[in-house]
Chain A
Amino acid sequence: MITAAVQEREHYLNASYGIKSWLLTKDHKRIGLLYLATITLFFFLGGAFATLIRVELLTPQGDLVSSETYNKLFTMHGVAMVFFFLLPSIPATLGNFFLPMMIGARDLAFPRINLLSWYLLVIGGLFSLFAMLAGGVDTGWTFYTPYSTTYSNTWVIATALGIFIAGFSSILTGLNFIVTIHRMRAPGMTWFRMPLFVWSNYATSLIQVLGTPVLAVTIVLVFCERVFHIGIFDPALGGDPVLFQHLFWFYSHPAVYIMVLPGMGVISEVVSVYSRKPVFGYGFVAFSSVAIAVLGFLVWGHHLFVSTQSVYAGMVFSFLSYFVAIPSAIKVFNWTATLYKGSISFDTPMLYAFGFIGLFTIGGLTGLFVASLGIDVHVTDTYFVIAHFHYIMVGGTIMAYLAGLHYWWPKMTGRMYPEGWAKLSALVIFLGFNLTFFPQFILGYLGMPRRYHVYPPEFQVLHVLSTAGASVLAVGYLMPMIYFIWSVRYGKVATANPWGATGLEWKTPSPPPLHNFDEAPVVTHEAYDYSTVMGEVIEVG
């Protein structure tokens, strides 16, 4: 029940009411919630497509849907999940909400551009949604040419347009974050006192700003080719279909770091809070984020090892791909070392963080497999790759996203989520996830290709295991949907700092006031100094 204390105080949620106050808001916190609603819708849409895919794959024959429909299902699953869920997810929800607060600012540098970013995502989403409902698109989310430009007769243009528009959402968010971090830190908040979540979002923003325009121009060229029938990627007219792959992956490889870096930022925060210790090797973790962003631009050719790219280029890209693995390894070691001699509590965010570290380790290690030319020739375009990237995107990013949502839920809503149900969901998700995707590594090495509607019967047992896991995973994802909504009305009222965390966002009431801080903060100590938030202490370690 809403208590008297919450009713009296004004905060960002009750400062104004009505649809207009939300749709025309300039408040980064409200915009964060608008994004939360939008991407959650796309998550469940992408999840619905995934469900149909996994049910179809229970049997070797194509007995649930036709081949045309199946090809649309995996395409739309990828488009919805990558462009309208994963890419915006953490930066646009948790980043928007907490980045200004963490550096002591009242809002982002350009609040109206922030709102525009949200509208661009929604408009882009509507274009793509239209394409999905009007008949679908079947090119794969990677829309390779010349299939996508000349041969497919599905809604390619509408989908591509939707992605193009959403791309500008991403670019403007990145631009906003970079300027905010450079120019709006509170007095005393030096670069090396910033929380690591801010460092991660900074590195992510660099990628968003530099990489996304290349995707945009690639889409423009595909659009021109498809609409005006000119031959940029069409070999019959002297064009080069592999040039498309280079242009596409020049963005889409860094894009995967847009998807994972913010998650890593969340994990840094969570591991620190629930060990009550600063992150081990803060400087190294901060620099590794930037290193990943830079190196991530140099490795796109590892998606083209068997594409008729030259042997020499393949070797260069394989070599560089191993370089980009090292900063990620540095993070994993530093997070683990943070636990050493800490004071560890097992609240739900920490459980998700453990899950992230474990599953990201497995996903990242399998990255070493695909970076190896000899192995990749065998496993590329098989279920091995699918398992690899789902371990990172789902076992990694989505777990980090859930960790962040649970961690910051009390601050955003003023309510606690139910801890028992949350722990149970985390366990269900962890088990369901591994059952879904581990068998796919085996399937891939056995030779089961990607994007196959029907398959040889000897692969069925592994597919059945995978689908069983998917149904468990689906239940796991529904549970937080239900209890988060429940908690907004019935959850325990939250204090300003229920976790004993050190960030500036915890020095303000839950939910925060309209302008974030009642008094302008001045920073006088290092990040993650827990002595400042505790009363009487017993030193350990």
Chain B
Amino acid sequence: MANHKEETLALREQFDTVEQQKDASTLGMWIFLITEIMFFGGMFLAYTIYRSSYPGIFAITSSSLNVYIGAANTVVLLCSSFTMVMAVRSAQLGRQKAIIFNLILTLILGFIFLGVKAYEWNEKFVEHHVPGPGFHFVGIAQQGPAQLFFSLYFAMTGLHALHMVVGVGILTWLIIKTRQGTFTAEYMTPVDVAGLYWHFVDIIWIFLFPLLYLIDRHLK
């Protein structure tokens, strides 16, 4: 009976086989990502509703976002997803150095994304586009819906950035654990599910970028 066997990382005492634990962990991460879709979904819904209520104003405010920077950031994240895939593949092959190399690349790209985001936000702050008492968007009579656009912009990109920061923390922890020799070809589940998480954060951005930066540019 597996009751009193020594517990290992790959086979914790509640599981009967390594396969079972791997399956359970992966299923768990997928379910967690589904909850994240519902979480972001609420904000996407609010954005969609207000955009359809104020199409003209949202088009103008959206155009004030720097689409080149946004596009660059998108490329950065896509590349980071690629390096993450490489990290997972290296883990499957048991190649420790390659895992660390690719995780570090992913981490750097993640930091670049966050840095660029901070620069964008600072730009918004300087232009008085941050919602609050100092808000003013030049050229629009109704400031209310304009402020609404930026509220949703900051809420959505902020929530996304928060998830990126958590992702960065997870990557750091993975790098440390890899250096300690924790992962083998047989046991690399944490790298695997962290990859899933990272890809998810990337996909959220793939939706955010067009919704916030690209739509209705032609209306301006």
Residue positions of A touching B, CB distance < 8 A: 105-111, 171, 175-176, 178-180, 182-184, 209-214, 216-218, 220-221, 224, 228-232, 236-240, 243, 247, 250, 515, 518-520
Q: Which B residues between 2 and 41 are near A, CB-CB below 8 angstroms? A: 2-3, 13-15, 20, 23-24, 27-28, 31-32, 34-36, 38-41
Nearest-CB residue, chain A, relative to B31: A175
**Least CB distance, A180 to chain B, in whole angstroms:** 8
CB–CB A220/B155 < 8 A: yes
CB–CB A213/B14 < 8 A: no
CB–CB B43/A175 < 8 A: no
CB–CB A111/B14 < 8 A: yes
CB–CB A213/B49 < 8 A: no
Contacting B142 at CB < 8 Å: which of A110, A176, A183, A238? A238
CB–CB A520/B132 < 8 A: no
Q: How far is the CA of A210 from the CA of B33 in the complex (A)?
A: 10
- When distances are taken between beta carbons in the complex, the residues of chain A under 8 Å from B102 are none
Residue B147 interfacial (CB < 8 Å): yes
Task: Give B146-157 as 1s and 0s: 1 = Cβ < 8 Å from A's Cβ atoms.
Answer: 011001100100
Contacting B151 at CB < 8 Å: which of A211, A224, A518? A224
Residue B144 interfacial (CB < 8 Å): yes
Residue B181 interfacial (CB < 8 Å): no
Q: A106-B14, A109-B14, A232-B151 are in contact. Are A238 and B54 (CB under 8 A)?
A: yes
Residue B195 interfacial (CB < 8 Å): no
CB–CB B43/A520 < 8 A: no
Quick one: which of A106, A176, A520 has the most chain B CB within 10 A?
A106
Q: How far is the CA of A176 from the CA of B159 in the complex (A)?
A: 25
- When distances are taken between beta carbons in the complex, the residues of chain B under 8 Å from A232 are 46, 148, 151-152
Q: List 26 A-B contacts (CB under 8 A).
A: A109-B14, A175-B28, A176-B28, A184-B24, A209-B31, A209-B35, A210-B34, A210-B35, A213-B38, A214-B39, A214-B42, A217-B43, A218-B42, A220-B159, A228-B151, A230-B131, A231-B144, A232-B46, A232-B148, A237-B143, A238-B142, A239-B148, A240-B49, A243-B49, A515-B3, A519-B1
CB–CB B1/A179 < 8 A: no
Contacting A182 at CB < 8 Å: which of B2, B27, B49? B27
Q: How far is the CA of A107 from the CA of B1 in the complex (A)?
A: 14
Main secondary structure of the interface of B (DSSP, over half): helix
CB–CB B49/A184 < 8 A: no
The 4 closest A-B pairs by CB, nearest first: A238-B144, A217-B42, A213-B39, A107-B14
CB–CB B14/A108 < 8 A: yes
Contacting B31 at CB < 8 Å: which of A179, A515, A518? A179
**Least CB distance, A385 to chain B, in whole angstroms:** 25
Nearest-CB residue, chain B, relative to A236: B144
- When distances are taken between beta carbons in the complex, the residues of chain A under 8 Å from B15 are 184
CB–CB A230/B42 < 8 A: no
CB–CB B39/A106 < 8 A: no
CB–CB A230/B24 < 8 A: no
Quick one: which of B2, B45, B46 has the most chain A CB within 10 A?
B46
- When distances are taken between beta carbons in the complex, the residues of chain B under 8 Å from A229 are 132-133
CB–CB A228/B132 < 8 A: yes
- When distances are taken between beta carbons in the complex, the residues of chain B under 8 Å from A243 are 46, 49
Interface bracket on B? 35 or more
CB–CB A210/B151 < 8 A: no
CB–CB B144/A237 < 8 A: yes
- When distances are taken between beta carbons in the complex, the residues of chain B under 8 Å from A238 are 50, 53-54, 142, 144-145, 147-148
Q: How far is the CA of A239 from the CA of B147 in the complex (A)?
A: 10
- When distances are taken between beta carbons in the complex, the residues of chain B under 8 Å from A107 are 13-14
Q: How far is the CA of A213 from the CA of B31 in the complex (A)?
A: 12
Q: How far is the CA of A107 from the CA of B24 in the complex (A)?
A: 13
Q: Which B residues between 71 and 98 are near A, CB-CB below 8 angstroms? A: none
**Least CB distance, A508 to chain B, in whole angstroms:** 12
Contacting A217 at CB < 8 Å: which of B31, B40, B50, B133? B40
CB–CB B28/A110 < 8 A: yes
- When distances are taken between beta carbons in the complex, the residues of chain B under 8 Å from A209 are 31, 34-35
Q: How far is the CA of A441 from the CA of B152 in the complex (A)?
A: 42
Quick one: which of B20, B28, B50 has the most chain A CB within 10 A?
B28
CB–CB B14/A231 < 8 A: no
Contacting B20 at CB < 8 Å: which of A108, A178, A184? A184
- When distances are taken between beta carbons in the complex, the residues of chain A under 8 Å from B152 are 232
Q: A243-B49, A520-B1 are in contact. Are A179 and B27 (CB under 8 A)?
A: yes
CB–CB A183/B27 < 8 A: yes
CB–CB B35/A230 < 8 A: no
Q: How far is the CA of A247 from the CA of B152 in the complex (A)?
A: 15
Q: How far is the CA of A61 from the CA of B112 in the complex (A)?
A: 64
CB–CB A230/B54 < 8 A: no
Nearest-CB residue, chain B, relative to A250: B42
CB–CB A210/B38 < 8 A: yes
Q: How far is the CA of A217 from the CA of B50 in the complex (A)?
A: 16
CB–CB B132/A247 < 8 A: no
- When distances are taken between beta carbons in the complex, the residues of chain A under 8 Å from B36 are 213
Nearest-CB residue, chain A, relative to B133: A229
- When distances are taken between beta carbons in the complex, the residues of chain B under 8 Å from A236 are 144
Q: A221-B155, A230-B147, A238-B142 are in contact. Are A183 and B24 (CB under 8 A)?
A: yes
- When distances are taken between beta carbons in the complex, the residues of chain B under 8 Å from A184 are 14-15, 20, 24
- When distances are taken between beta carbons in the complex, the residues of chain B under 8 Å from A178 are 27, 31
CB–CB B28/A216 < 8 A: no
Q: How far is the CA of A179 from the CA of B24 in the complex (A)?
A: 6
**Least CB distance, A222 to chain B, in whole angstroms:** 11
